[in-house]
């Protein structure tokens, strides 16, 4: 009985382990010649602790970075950022003209409606897997 209970608890934690939920992940379909693209998504943090995204990995590229767009002095500026903070009990939208994920040196050209797997690493070493859809944006 205790064994069964611990399995149940284990399963519960297994399915609820992620502090963050990834929604609506989309990769921008760009001209086939383009080796660089951007990914947008919404990150929901229902936990009671602030979370920080520190890294994103995928088989489609070895160089994936977190970036931000800032409008300043009448110029659009793109900057790399080391982490993206997702405050507790809130969600952050990575969208065009703001925070986004940059994917460099794509290993092969992206195709519309393809899905690709990603791994997100948080500052607390937690790992979240998610899929993103390739669409023209």
Distance of CA 25 to the CA centre of its chain: 7
What is the H or E stretch that residue 9 is in? helix 2-16
Q: How far apart are CA 11 and CA 17, in angstroms?
A: 10
Residue 120 CB, shortest distance to another protein, in Å, is 18
Residues 99-128 within binding reach of another protein (CB under 8 A):
100, 102-105
Q: How far apart are CA 134 and CA 137, in angstroms?
A: 9
Q: Of 133, 41, 59, 49, whose CA–CA distance to 96 is shortest? A: 41
Cβ–Cβ under 8 Å, residues 8 and 116: no
Position 37 contacts another protein (CB under 8 A):
yes
Position 2 contacts another protein (CB under 8 A):
no
Residue 124 CB, shortest distance to another protein, in Å, is 24
Position 4 contacts another protein (CB under 8 A):
no
Residues 49-78 within binding reach of another protein (CB under 8 A):
63, 65, 67, 69, 71, 73-78
Q: How far apart are CA 80 and CA 29, in angstroms?
A: 21
Q: Please give the size of the binding site for another protein, defined by CB under 8 A.
A: 31
Residue 121 CB, shortest distance to another protein, in Å, is 18
Residue numbers at the binding site for another protein (CB under 8 A): 28, 30-34, 36-38, 63, 65, 67, 69, 71, 73-80, 96-97, 100, 102-105, 136-137
């Amino acid at each position: 009985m205790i064994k069964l209970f611990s399995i149940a608890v284990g399963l519960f934690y297994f399915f609820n382990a992620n502090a963050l939920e990834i929604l609506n992940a989309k990769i921008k379909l760009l001209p086939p010649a383009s080796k660089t693209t951007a990914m947008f998504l919404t990150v929901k943090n229902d936990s009671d602790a602030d979370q920080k995204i520190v890294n994103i990995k995928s088989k489609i590229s070895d160089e994936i970075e977190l970036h931000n767009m800032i409008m300043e002095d009448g110029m659009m500026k793109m900057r790399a950022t080391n982490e993206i903070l997702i405050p507790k009990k809130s969600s952050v939208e990575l969208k065009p003209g703001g925070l986004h994920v940059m994917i460099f040196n794509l290993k092969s050209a992206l195709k519309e409606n393809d899905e690709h797997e990603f791994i997100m690493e948080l500052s607390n070493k937690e790992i979240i897997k998610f899929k993103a859809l390739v669409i023209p944006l």
